[in-house]
Amino acid sequence: MLFGLPITGETIAFFVLALIIIISAVFMITMTNVMHMAVSLVGVFLGVAGIFILLGADFVGFVQIMVYAGAITILMVFALMLTHRGLSAEMQHEVGALRSTVTFVVIAVLVGTILYAIRRTPWTSNNINALQPFHQSTVTLLANAIFQQYTVPFELVSAVLTVALVGSAVIARKEE
């Protein structure tokens, strides 16, 4: 037994992925070199993609790898390179030690409360012991849901994406 969970392959995979995510996230926060931050960010995103695949959401996991670990990380590194002159040594530091400590304590209390609530709530679930796959391919299920039930939100998302990309091109354009 591991934290009250039976030791199966899924449990081990979950704890390995959780360890990767949390260690990468803590590295991301504590690194002083911004490039190292961007690299450890990939660890977080890939770990989350692994969690998605473990949960039977393979399509969402692959989208996560393509969009987050691929596109968004590249965008971040690109922006870091373009603004590298602005990163003076003084700015790399966080806010003062007092404010940093107070923030840490408040967030620790918040997360502790959430964890306590998660532990005390009686969750009803049908598959306690094993992660069962969906009865159909998730791509089929997602396509049915998106193109029948969620058609209007899907079109709205595509409109938002177009407007946001055109708008960001306009904002970032060099003014003459």
Partner 1 sequence: MALQPFLALAAILFGIGLFGALTKRNLIIVLISIEMMLNAANINLVAFSHFLSKPNIDGQVYALFTIAIAAAEVAVGLAILLSFFRHRETSDVRDMNSMKW
Per CB under 8 A, contacts with partner 1 among 108-137 are 108, 110-111, 114-115, 118-119, 123-132, 134
Q: Which of 7, 16, 35, 87 binds partner 1 (CB under 8 A)?
A: 87
Q: Which of 16, 33, 36, 83 binds partner 1 (CB under 8 A)?
A: 83
Size, binding site for partner 1 by CB under 8 A = 90
The CB-of-90 to partner 1 minimum distance in angstroms stands at 9
DSSP string, 15-58: HHHHHHHHHHHHHHHH-SSHHHHHHHHHHHHHHHHHHHHHTT-H
Residue 97 carries which side chain, given as an amino acid letter? A
The CB-of-121 to partner 1 minimum distance in angstroms stands at 9
The CB-of-153 to partner 1 minimum distance in angstroms stands at 7
Provide the 3-class DSSP secondary structure of residue 137: coil
State the SS3 of 68-92.
HHHHHHHHHHHHHHHCHHHCCHHHH
Q: Which of 1, 98, 171, 176 binds partner 1 (CB under 8 A)?
A: 171
Q: Residues 6 or more apart from 32 whose CB is under 8 A from it?
A: 92
| Cα–Cα distance, 120 to 130 (Å, whole number) | 22
161 binds partner 1 (CB under 8 A): yes
74 binds partner 1 (CB under 8 A): no
> Of residues 13-52, which lie at the interface with partner 1 (CB under 8 A)?
14, 18, 21-22, 25-26, 28-29, 34, 37-38, 41, 44-45, 48, 51-52
Kindly state the tokens that stand for 75. 């965008």
Residues written for the chain = 176
